[in-house]
Amino acid sequence: MKRALITGASGGIGRSLALKLMTEYELIIVARNENGLKTVQEDIEAAGGKVEIIMADLTLQKDRQRVYKNVPVGSVDLLINNAGVGGQSRFAKQDPDKVQKIIDLNISALTEICRHYTPAMKRSQAVINVASVVGFLPFPFISVYAATKAYVLSFSEALSEELKKEGVHVMALCPGATRTGFEAAADMQNSSVYSSKIPGPDEVADYAINALRRRKVVAIHGIQNNALVFLATRLLPRKIVRLVTHRIMSRSST
Euclidean distance between CA atoms 74 and 64, whole angstroms:
16
Q: What is the dihedral of CA 248, 251, 252, 254, to 10 degrees?
A: 110
Residue 161 neighbours by CB under 8 Å, 6+ apart: none
Euclidean distance between CA atoms 75 and 43, whole angstroms:
24
H helix or E strand, kind and range, residue 148: helix 143-163
Query: Of 25, 68, 117, 145, which residue is the catalytic one?
Result: 145
* Whether residue 145 lies in the annotated active site: yes
Euclidean distance between CA atoms 207 and 209, whole angstroms:
6
Rg (C-alpha) for the chain, rounded Å, is 18
Euclidean distance between CA atoms 169 and 128, whole angstroms:
9
Q: In what order do the strands lie in the sheet with 126-130?
A: 51-55, 25-31, 2-7, 78-81, 126-130, 169-174, 218-220
Active site residues: 145
